Structure 1
Amino acid sequence: MSRTKAKGFTLVELLVVIAIIGVLVSLLLPAVQQAREAARRIQCTNHLKQLGLAMHNYHDTFQSFPVGQFNGQQEEDTSQNPNRSTWFIALLPFVEQSAMYDTVKPSMGTSSANTWDANVRNTVVSGFVCPSDPWGGKVGVDGFQGNYLANATHEVMGRWNSKEASMMSGLFFAGSHINLKDILDGTSNTLMFGEIRQSPQENCTIGNYWNGWAMESMFCTVFGVNSPAFDFVPSGAMADNAWRLTQEIPVSPGAMTAYPLRSAHPGGAMVTRADGSVSFLPETINTANLQNLSNRADGNVITSF
């Protein structure tokens, strides 16, 4: 009698096939992740481009950029309402969010922004969210917190409730009324918006658009792009809410605020310049060059990076 050989894989053949598939998957996965990140970066670029256009439309309407934060003093001062309001709120009608603006408008003359309609404050506006940030679209203690901040200064953002606020070198700060003619260095050489990463900590208020108490909606360039330095906070009471990327250190009352450019994009962060163009700033950019980009009228030459 003849015997028929059974068809199928041997154990060795099966292990070889599994190994080959594993190698192929390991080669393919990084490519898939890179493709996804490229798509997210394109979407982030589009968000920042739309914000630049919206800001220019605001300027065309009112002949200046909006106030960085209307008051934001540590003390509640209802005589200067809309207290704690930020540039984000002023920009809402120009990013197709007129309904949100109209809902809170009746409250602007009588109360602080962090007490306005909760449904509006907690509404996530997708155009202000970087899709690469795993914590993007966060709703914090006062409401929606975004990934795009406005350029305040090349120095530490200190003494937000004093005359020194008006001396900041960027485009947005407490009581600011900057217009295009004030940008002496040229709109292509001056930053308007930049990215930050949201904090996983529940009470951290970086990117807070609804309570401009200590310039939470603005960045400075005292630190480099994606700096591992921690964010300073304005008082000892808020020190526990700081998002620290390094070890804990004491923060004394009256400390300054310093929110640097950070992003979840590998190698750098996206920015919008004052002319509305969007570009990618690498982590390797010279700090002096970065600070020159943040200063609207220092007269310094921007070198290549």
Structure 2
Amino acid sequence: MRFHQRSAFTLVELLVVIAIIGVLVGLLLPAVQAAREAARRMSCSNNFKQIGLATHNYHSAYNQLPQHMTGNTRTYTNDSTICNRLYISAQVGLTPFFEQQGLWEQISNPFDRNGDGVLAYPPDSPPMGPGPWQTYYPPWMTEIPMLRCPSDPGRGLPALGRCNYAVCVGDVIELVHSGGKNESGIYDGSVGIDTDEAAIRAGNGSNDSNRASAARSRNRGLFWVRHKTAFRDCLDGLSNTIAMGEIATILGGREIISEFILNGPDTVTTDPAACDQFVDPQRPQFWLTTATVGGGNQIRGGRWADGRIQYTAFQTIKPPNSLSCFRGGDASQGISSASSRHQGGAHVLMGDGAVRFITDSIESGNQAITPAHSGAESSFGLWGALGTRGSREIVSLEQ
């Protein structure tokens, strides 16, 4: 009797093995992707914790929070290639506190723009640099890893240095874009508070007490643009007040989480729902093709050193991953929302340094009414209350 030993698989056996491997890969791939995103999300949270620690160290050193929209006043010069006219973000002031001392040295010293070895202005820039939209200035073009979320794939031009972490300026629309002051640091009451730019730009003049009062009643966040704030101003408790939050940067797909509307309705300053009409009803995560979105480097999170709300600030009005919309150009008033590339929500940094993940479904009150101010309870529920520093709303995410 003879026995024959097979030297290879049959075709059927080979196909069965390939099919089994394919099924296993199909089952494991989502798990691998989920694990990678979990790692990126943890890395993002760690970045935020480091920023929180930097903020507390800054406060320990100067007894105040880093001022958002600071620098040289317009009274020095109107030329933005020389003077920044009070547009520098709080993120700039934090650089030496999160291991960016070299970058801070460049910013805090005069800049020899023409390279002649003579620091005279003009044409050179004084300390704190030129307008934060000037592309010739190296620090403004620098992308800082600490300010980037690993889950955000946006890279490079047309942005300058991208930034995924923005300061919280409260739950009101009017006057939070400027804090009530113009480029000269003056409470300019020459135009109404419901107008396009509402005196964020030019103007010297004299302080208007009515404008100062209006600004104080509306700027309810832990950060108050063009003003100094400190932990002692947070009467609701640091653990109950948002200091910063995430923002997603542009990928070029007209997504509502990463691109904002410019030249929107005049009513956007009083009606949070005014821009809902520009959302594509068939694809609610995207803008309609007819909507005017920001272009060039006027894009969400596209200028890490620019303190305007379009770039490095947000309000607790619409819940995370909602739209951002502005009445005019990139210096106008409007709504800036938190957003992220994480599934289902975005990270926020609380005043005490804790990092929390806020879901899209957080209770956010009535989205069709004018934002309350002057010490009133927030119009936007738990989300709005977490964005105010002193409205006596002792709310907690643990509730």
Tell me which interval the TM-score lies in, with the shorter structure as reference length: 0.7 to 0.9
The yes-or-no answer on 1:281 pairing with 2:358 is yes
Question: Match of 2:70, as an amino acid?
Answer: F
- 140, 144, 156: which one aligns with 1:125: 144
| Equivalent in 108, 115, 119 of residue 134 of structure 2 | 115
Task: Provide the C-alpha distance between the structure 2 equivalents of 1:183 and 1:138, rounded to a whole number of angstroms.
Answer: 37
How far apart are residue 119 of structure 1 and its match? 2.0
Asked if 1:224 corresponds to 2:301, the answer is no
Q: Indicate which of 295, 299, 303 corresponds to 2:392.
A: 299
Among residues 205, 229, 233, which one is paired with 2:326 in the alignment?
233
Give the equivalent residue in structure 2 for 1:171.
222
Structure 2 gaps, min length 5:
111-125, 181-210, 253-295, 365-380
Query: Relative to structure 1, is the Cα distance of residues 139 and 93 closer, same or farther in structure 2, using a 3 angstrom cutoff?
Result: farther
Distance 1:92 1:110 in 2: 14
Contact 1:157 1:215 in 2 (8 A): no
As a proportion of its length, which structure holds more helix? 1
**Matched residues, number:** 283
SS at match of 2:227: coil
Q: Which residue of 2 aligns with 1:150?
A: 167
* Deviations 1:120-155, CA, capped at 9 Å, x for gaps: 2111110110001111x54545x2121000111112
Shift of 1:294: 0.6
Q: In structure 2, how many angstroms separate the alpha carbons of the residues matched to 1:262 and 1:95? A: 23
CA contact (8 A) 1:122 1:144 kept: yes
- 1:176 is displaced (CA, Å) by 2.2
Greater CA deviation, 11-20 or 105-114? 105-114
**How high is the TM-score relative to the length of structure 1?**
0.83
Q: 2:260 aligned with 1:183, yes or no?
A: no
- Identify the residue that residue 99 of structure 1 maps to in structure 2: 102
Query: Superposition RMSD on alpha carbons, in Å?
Result: 2.8
Identity of aligned residues (%): 33
Q: Does the Cα contact within 8 Å between 2:176 and 2:224 map onto a contact in 1?
A: no
Using the TM superposition, give the Cα deviation of residue 40 of structure 1 relative to its aligned residue in structure 2, in angstroms. Answer: 0.9
- TM-aligned CA distance change 1:216 to 1:110, over 3 Å: closer
Normalising by structure 2, we get a TM-score of 0.64
- Distance in 2, matches of 1:158 and 1:17, equals 66
Work out the CA distance in 1 between the residues paired with 2:174 and 2:152.
24
Q: Give, in whole Å, the separation in 2 of the partners of 1:44 and 1:110.
A: 29
Mapped partners of 2:69, 2:313: distance in 1: 9
Alignment of 1:17-96 (within 5 A): 17-70=17-70, 78=76, 82-83=84-85, 84-96=87-99
Higher mean alpha-carbon deviation, 86-95 vs 159-168, is at 159-168
Using the alignment, how far apart are the partners of 1:72 and 1:157 within structure 2? 24
Q: Bigger shift: 104-113 or 278-287? A: 104-113
| CA distances 1:235-292 after superposition (whole Å, capped 9, x unpaired) | 1x55xxxxxxxxxxxxxxx963322111111121111100011111122211111111
The answer to whether the 8 A contact 1:195-1:262 is kept is yes
Given that 1:221 and 1:290 are in contact with CA atoms closer than 8 Å, whether structure 2 keeps it comes out as yes
